[in-house]
Amino acid sequence: MNFLNKVKGTWLQIVPWVIWLGIMLGGRYYRHYVAGWQVWLLLGAFFILSLVTFIGFLTPITEEACCGSRQPGVKPSWAEILVHVIPLFIFLALGPTSISGSEAGVGSPFKPAVLDQRSAKLSPYDLSADKTPPITDQAKGKQNRWVPLTLLDMYSDLEAKGIADREVEVEGKVHVLSKKDKTELLKTMGLTGVQMTLYRFVLVCCAADSRPMAVVLEGVLPKHFVNDGWYRVRGTSSKITKKTLVKSPTLSISAKEIVPIPEPPGPYLSLW
C-alpha cells in the first residue's frame, strides 16, 4: 500500500523527468536542443533529480506529505502527474527534431548581425569549428580538394583571411526561395536574382535563441530534392560584389556538387 501511495505521488511525477534527461544525455540528443557546453548543467540536473527520486522512494510517505502547499494526505490528481510526462512524450512522439527553415522564415537570414559586432582580431568567441586546425592550401591539395568549413567559419574567415574564391565544402540545409522570400530579400538586403540559399542555425544557449545564417547558393539541384533538407555542398565561394542594403558582406557558393546527407548529430552551430 505504501508503495502504491509512492507510485501515485511524488515519485511517479519526478521519474519521467529523470528518464527524459537520461535519454537526452545517454543518446546525446541534447545537441538537438541546447549548446554543447550545457551538458555539464544537464548532468548536474540529472544527478540531483536521480538523488531526489532515490531518497523519495526510501522516505516514509508520512514524511513526504509534510511540506509544500499540498495539504498532508492529499494526493496529486492524474492531470498533475501526466503534466510531468509531457517533455518525454513529445520526444518519444517525434524523436529529435530541429527548427525548420520555412517555419522560421529563412528568407533573408545571411549573416546574423551579432557577428558584425565583433572583429575577428578581438573576437571573444570560441568558434566551435575553429577548434579544428586550419587546413592549409598545400595540405588541402594532398588530402582533399575541398576545404571543409562551416558557415560560421566562412563568415569569420571572410573577415580574417579572405575566404572568397576558394573551393569549399559546407554542410547545411538548402532552401529554395519562394516569391515571398525573394520580395523579402530585395526589401531587406537589396539582393535580386537569388534562387536558393544554404543555411544553418547558430545558437548561443538553446535552439530557441538560434538565428539562421546563410550563403547564396547557385547550382543544379539534385533529383528528389527536398526543400529545407540537409545537403553537402561543394563549390567555389565568392563575395557578392553588388551593393546591398546591409553593410555586412554576403557570400555565395557556386556549387559543383549538391549531395543529400543525413541530419548531423548536432544540427546547430554554436557561437561559443
**Binding positions for another protein, 24-83, rule CB under 8 A:** 24, 30, 32-34, 38, 41-42, 44-45, 48-49, 51-52, 55-56, 59, 63-64, 66-71, 74, 76-77, 79-80, 82-83
Please report how close the Cβ of residue 260 comes to another protein at its closest, in angstroms.
15
- Cell numbers of 7, please? 507510485
Among the candidate windows 8-16, 152-160, 169-177, 250-258, which touches another protein by CB under 8 A?
8-16
- Cell numbers of 52, please? 531526489
68 vs 133 by CB, closer to another protein: 68
Tell me which amino acid residue 45 is: A
Give the Å distances, CA to CA, from 79 to 6, 48, 86. 16, 24, 11
86 vs 220 by CB, closer to another protein: 86
Among the candidate windows 107-115, 150-158, 168-176, 214-222, which touches another protein by CB under 8 A?
107-115
Distance from C-alpha of 188 to C-alpha of 245, rounded to nearest angstrom: 7
Among the candidate windows 133-141, 146-154, 203-211, 235-243, which touches another protein by CB under 8 A?
203-211
The C-alpha torsion from 8 through 13 and 14 to 17, rounded to 10°, is 140
Please report how close the Cβ of residue 199 comes to another protein at its closest, in angstroms.
14
176 near another protein, judged by CB under 8 A: no
271 near another protein, judged by CB under 8 A: yes
- Work out which of 5, 36, 61, 84 binds another protein, going by CB under 8 A: 84
Distance from C-alpha of 94 to C-alpha of 5, rounded to nearest angstrom: 32
Q: 142: which residues sit within 8 A by CB, 6+ positions away?
A: none
44 vs 265 by CB, closer to another protein: 44
Phi, psi for residue 61 in degrees, rounded to 5: -60, -30
Strand partners, 214: 199
